[in-house]
């Protein structure tokens, strides 16, 4: 069993050497064959490098069966084995996550090519390193005849049936595009099969709903789908593909190569219909490699799929040939890794936090760990069921994952590291903040504090919600300040905020005169707001921004909303029975009406009017889905524009979708839209629609 605390030893210690080999063998098998890893990749890499270092220092200890001598693990018996015509190489990894990582590679290339200092910069192709499974696609006379996993690099598994279900992979080469080359008699295309983040979340949601096992990360979900014995099940798993290289190639006529550069090869693949990432670029010399690394690292969280670094390749195929290979790795390529997105750490405590609506959330306090580029100290478990399923206990060693801008999560516990007296976590019967009963209603997954605004935690969250950027926006009013104001009994309710004087603010801990004045100014500024912002800020359950906008547009005034009976509320496009009921319950409580009256008395203002018989807006009644990275608009901006034009933004493509707004790196949503005949817009086309030009 894996035990990261086993004592390390000097390189020659035979027990350490044996332990490293056995541990790496076991985890390579779990990773490549069982799709059930129990060790974070970064930890595996660390042990692998330790073993490599021992073997480099003492080559007499090297054995042919050492994990360093293999690329992966043998294929499962259930799939037919395929011997690769051209071995599927691995790629040298540069783990130095600084700019020096790119400089090291460029310096090595220049040395191996014997370039003098004054020789021009080497041209590279820089690509994202997709976190999926490497795949070899074999085309005979332009038709897909076989798809095989990498396996151990020499032989993989025949997964053709499953790969055929991926819409992005051409079953036949498209030779009709301008500039497309004729189909070679034999062509092997290499690339990565992966699962987009949104597809992964949706799949896990479906698995949960069906009471089936969920996947720990998109890579595992993709691996599980590719190696699914039943292609019908594989077909339901949304996979995507990016091409990045070649295996075997036979050209029709003898003579020179069809492409002179790696970039030319990628263009040819694109012309034949393979997806090639829009993030691929040519970079000249180390400086441009560093700029690429930094640019992609900045975009990493916002990309619709996981990447674990970037890849640099010498662009000229002639130079690649000159450089050749060392053992199983090309000398002309390197993977420059980003900080790992999964790491091991220990659980210090499990606290229970109280949210704005009283929801109790177990929060795992962790020994600080650097993961996904930030230091993580907390991870949430959504509710009691998740806490039970993951069975996280104080003192446990856990794998923590932080990918994209999602909240860090505990992926799994290492049971073999559990202390014998570790106690099962249970949700408390009382709210940990106010002591009111914690209730789990029938059919609900969440426990809630029943204290309402009696509970100071709920009051704090309600104030922060009201003051946030997308509500009335009180700049500078953060959680530390609200903690002090509520805990010190200075404010209890939202209107109290607007009664705050400069003197009570400057009396607070670490509050300079200037900062206190800024808060007073920000409060003053926030008084001029809009009806949707104010309504959203009230924090009524189920009333998000879009619903608040729809209500404001429909009724025109707050009083009309406050007094509307259920059936009138349900006449609003975004409002169903649950939302209508929630609105009625909120406005039927005299203390909530009192809060609204007091806020008005404090000077909060917005424009109101009778609901206008407005001319139809360009997107009224239309449902749009956004995917990929847009050239100039953020997702929030695009959503705002669409909603302002009367449209609705949905999360997934269905028959009810009118338009798909697609940017770079659009994944399976684009396939689905094409499959269903949904109109696909780019950013310019959206703007034309909004301007009434289309």
CB nearer ligand 5U1, residue 142 or residue 667 = 667
Choose, by CB under 6 A, the member of 41, 43, 106, 127 that binds ligand 5U1: 127
Shortest separation between residue 71's beta carbon and ligand 5U1, angstroms: 9
**What residues are paired with 366 via a beta bridge?**
347
Shortest separation between residue 121's beta carbon and ligand 5U1, angstroms: 20
Shortest separation between residue 190's beta carbon and ligand 5U1, angstroms: 7
Stretch that binds ligand 5U1, among 84-92, 112-120, 440-448, 681-689 (CB under 6 A): 84-92
CB nearer ligand 5U1, residue 220 or residue 461 = 220
Q: Please state, in angstroms and rounded to a whole number, the distance separating the CA atoms of residues 217 and 194.
A: 11
Q: Is 605 helix (H, G, I), strand (E, B) or coil?
A: strand
User: Rule CB under 6 A: is residue 129 a binding residue for ligand 5U1?
Assistant: yes
Q: Please state, in angstroms and rounded to a whole number, the distance separating the CA atoms of residues 160 and 136.
A: 10
Shortest separation between residue 162's beta carbon and ligand 5U1, angstroms: 20
Q: Please state, in angstroms and rounded to a whole number, the distance separating the CA atoms of residues 678 and 513.
A: 57
Shortest separation between residue 244's beta carbon and ligand 5U1, angstroms: 4
Stretch that binds ligand 5U1, among 86-94, 359-367, 458-466, 589-597 (CB under 6 A): 86-94
The H-or-E segment that residue 28 falls in is helix 14-32
Residues 6 or more apart whose CB falls under 8 angstroms from that of 280 comprise: 125, 126, 127, 128, 263, 266
Shortest separation between residue 263's beta carbon and ligand 5U1, angstroms: 13
Shortest separation between residue 434's beta carbon and ligand 5U1, angstroms: 53
Interface positions, 243-282, toward ligand 5U1 (CB under 6 A): 244-245
**Total residues interacting with ligand 5U1, rule: CB under 6 A:** 11
Torsion sign, CA atoms 71, 409, 101, 275: positive
Query: Of the candidates 497, 464, 491, 499, which has an alpha carbon nearest to the alpha carbon of residue 480?
Result: 464
Interface positions, 299-338, toward ligand 5U1 (CB under 6 A): 311, 330, 333
Binding mask 204-243 for ligand 5U1 (x = CB under 6 A): ----------------------------------------
Stretch that binds ligand 5U1, among 57-65, 87-95, 490-498, 545-553 (CB under 6 A): 87-95
Supply 408's token pair.
């860090």
CB nearer ligand 5U1, residue 219 or residue 390 = 219
Angle at 131 between CA 128 and CA 136, to 5 degrees: 90
Read out DSSP for 211-260? Answer: T-PPPSSHHHHHHHHHT-S-HHHHHTS--EEEEEEEEEEE-SSSSS-S-S
Interface positions, 626-645, toward ligand 5U1 (CB under 6 A): none
Residue 359 is a catalytic residue: no
Interface positions, 511-550, toward ligand 5U1 (CB under 6 A): none
Q: Which of 129, 337, 390, 549 is catalytic?
A: 129
Choose, by CB under 6 A, the member of 36, 76, 91, 641 that binds ligand 5U1: 91
Stretch that binds ligand 5U1, among 126-134, 444-452, 566-574, 596-604 (CB under 6 A): 126-134
Stretch that binds ligand 5U1, among 127-135, 163-171, 473-481, 676-684 (CB under 6 A): 127-135
Shortest separation between residue 91's beta carbon and ligand 5U1, angstroms: 4
Shortest separation between residue 150's beta carbon and ligand 5U1, angstroms: 8
CB nearer ligand 5U1, residue 92 or residue 648 = 92
User: Rule CB under 6 A: is residue 148 a binding residue for ligand 5U1?
Assistant: no
Place of tokens 């900080």: 339
CB nearer ligand 5U1, residue 184 or residue 191 = 191
Stretch that binds ligand 5U1, among 50-58, 85-93, 256-264, 599-607 (CB under 6 A): 85-93
CB nearer ligand 5U1, residue 4 or residue 153 = 153
Query: Of the candidates 640, 632, 628, which has an alpha carbon nearest to the alpha carbon of residue 667?
Result: 628
CB nearer ligand 5U1, residue 169 or residue 311 = 311
Q: Please state, in angstroms and rounded to a whole number, the distance separating the CA atoms of residues 633 and 510.
A: 38
Q: Is 138 helix (H, G, I), strand (E, B) or coil?
A: strand
Residue 518 · residue 594 · CB < 8 Å: no
The H-or-E segment that residue 127 falls in is strand 123-130
Q: Please state, in angstroms and rounded to a whole number, the distance separating the CA atoms of residues 386 and 391.
A: 8
Query: Of the candidates 396, 364, 401, 392, which has an alpha carbon nearest to the alpha carbon of residue 380?
Result: 364
Q: Please state, in angstroms and rounded to a whole number, the distance separating the CA atoms of residues 11 and 2.
A: 19
What DSSP designation does 614 have? P
CB nearer ligand 5U1, residue 304 or residue 362 = 304
Residue 357 · residue 542 · CB < 8 Å: no
Stretch that binds ligand 5U1, among 59-67, 88-96, 210-218, 388-396 (CB under 6 A): 88-96
Binding mask 341-370 for ligand 5U1 (x = CB under 6 A): ------------------------------
Place of tokens 């011997």: 83
The alpha carbon torsion through 182, 187, 188, 192 (nearest 10 deg) reads 10
Choose, by CB under 6 A, the member of 89, 350, 399, 477 that binds ligand 5U1: 89
The H-or-E segment that residue 545 falls in is helix 545-555
Shortest separation between residue 323's beta carbon and ligand 5U1, angstroms: 12
CB nearer ligand 5U1, residue 322 or residue 440 = 322
Supply 547's token pair.
């619903």
CB nearer ligand 5U1, residue 340 or residue 464 = 340
Shortest separation between residue 253's beta carbon and ligand 5U1, angstroms: 26
CB nearer ligand 5U1, residue 192 or residue 396 = 192
Which CB contacts under 8 angstroms, 24+ apart, belong to 456-462?
456/486, 456/487, 457/353, 457/354, 457/355, 457/431, 457/433, 458/354, 458/355, 458/356, 458/357, 458/358, 459/486, 459/492, 459/493, 460/486, 461/354, 461/355, 461/356, 462/356, 462/494, 462/539
Supply 555's token pair.
């009724």
**Residues annotated as catalytic (active site), given as ranges:** 129
Q: Which residues bind ligand 5U1 (CB under 6 A)?
A: 89-91, 127, 129, 134, 244-245, 311, 330, 333
């Amino acid at each position: 069993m894996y035990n990261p605390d086993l004592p390390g030893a000097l390189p020659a210690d035979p027990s350490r050497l044996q332990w490293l080999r056995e541990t790496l063998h076991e985890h390579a098998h779990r990773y490549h064959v069982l799709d059930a890893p129990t060790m974070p990749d970064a930890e595996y890499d660390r042990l692998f490098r330790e073993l490599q270092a021992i073997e480099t220092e003492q080559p007499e200890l090297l054995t042919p069966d050492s994990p360093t001598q293999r690329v992966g693990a043998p294929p499962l018996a259930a799939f037919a084995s395929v011997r690769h015509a051209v071995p599927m190489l691995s790629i040298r990894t540069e783990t130095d996550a600084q700019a020096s990582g790119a400089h090291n590679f460029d310096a090595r290339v220049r040395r191996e090519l014997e370039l003098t200092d004054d020789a021009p910069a080497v041209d590279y192709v820089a690509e994202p390193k997709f976190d999926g499974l490497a795949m070899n696609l074999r085309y005979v006379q332009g038709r897909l005849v076989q798809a095989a996993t990498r396996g151990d690099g020499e032989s993989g598994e025949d997964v053709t049936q499953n790969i055929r279900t991926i819409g992005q992979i051409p079953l036949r080469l498209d030779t009709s595009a301008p500039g497309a080359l004729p189909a070679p008699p034999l062509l092997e295309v290499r690339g990565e099969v992966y699962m987009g983040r949104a597809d992964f979340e949706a799949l896990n949601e479906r698995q949960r709903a069906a009471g089936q096992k969920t996947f720990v990360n998109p890579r595992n979900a993709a691996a599980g789908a590719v190696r699914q014995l039943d292609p019908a099940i594989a077909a339901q798993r949304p996979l995507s593909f990016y091409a990045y290289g070649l295996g075997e190639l036979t050209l029709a006529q003898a003579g020179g190569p069809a492409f002179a550069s790696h970039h030319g090869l990628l263009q040819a693949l694109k012309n034949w219909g393979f997806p090639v990432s829009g993030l691929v670029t040519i970079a000249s010399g180390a400086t441009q490699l560093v700029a690429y690394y930094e640019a992609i690292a900045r975009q990493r969280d916002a990309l619709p799929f996981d990447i674990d670094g970037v890849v640099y390749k010498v662009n000229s195929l002639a130079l690649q040939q000159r450089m050749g290979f060392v053992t199983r790795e090309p000398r002309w390529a390197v993977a420059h890794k980003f900080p790992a997105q999964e790491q091991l750490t220990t659980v210090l405590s499990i606290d229970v936090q109280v949210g704005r609506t009283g929801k109790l959330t177990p929060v795992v306090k962790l020994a600080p760990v650097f993961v996904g580029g930030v230091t993580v100290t907390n991870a949430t478990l959504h509710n009691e069921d998740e806490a039970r399923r993951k069975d996280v206990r104080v003192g446990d060693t856990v794998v923590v994952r932080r990918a994209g801008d999602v909240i860090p999560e505990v992926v799994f516990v290492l049971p073999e590291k559990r202390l014998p007296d570790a106690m099962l976590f249970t949700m408390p019967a009382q709210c940990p903040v106010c002591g009111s009963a914690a209730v789990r209603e029938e059919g609900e997954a969440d426990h809630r504090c029943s204290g309402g605004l009696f509970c100071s935690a709920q009051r704090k969250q309600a104030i922060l919600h009201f003051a946030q950027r997308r509500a009335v926006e009180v700049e500078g009013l953060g959680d530390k300040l609200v903690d002090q104001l509520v805990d010190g009994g200075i404010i209890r309710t939202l209107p109290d905020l607007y009664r705050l004087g400069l003197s009570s603010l400057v009396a607070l801990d670490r509050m300079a005169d200037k900062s206190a004045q800024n808060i007073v100014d920000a409060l003053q500024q926030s008084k001029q707001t809009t009806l949707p912002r104010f309504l959203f800020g009230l924090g009524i359950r189920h009333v998000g921004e879009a619903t608040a906008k729809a209500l404001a547009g429909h009724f025109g005034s707050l009083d009309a909303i406050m007094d509307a009976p259920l059936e009138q509320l349900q006449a609003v496009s975004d409002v169903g029975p649950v939302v209508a009921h929630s609105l009625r319950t909120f406005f039927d409580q005299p203390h909530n009406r009192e809060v609204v009256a007091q806020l008005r008395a404090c000077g909060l203002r917005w424009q109101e009017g009778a609901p206008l018989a407005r001319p139809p807006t360009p997107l009224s009644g239309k449902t749009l889905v956004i995917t990929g990275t847009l050239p100039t608009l953020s997702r929030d901006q695009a959503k705002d524009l669409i909603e302002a034009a009367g449209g609705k933004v949905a999360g997934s493509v269905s028959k009810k979708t009118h338009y798909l707004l697609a940017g770079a790196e659009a994944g399976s949503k684009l396939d689905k839209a094409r499959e269903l005949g949904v109109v696909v817009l780019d950013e310019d086309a959206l703007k034309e629609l909004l301007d009434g030009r289309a």
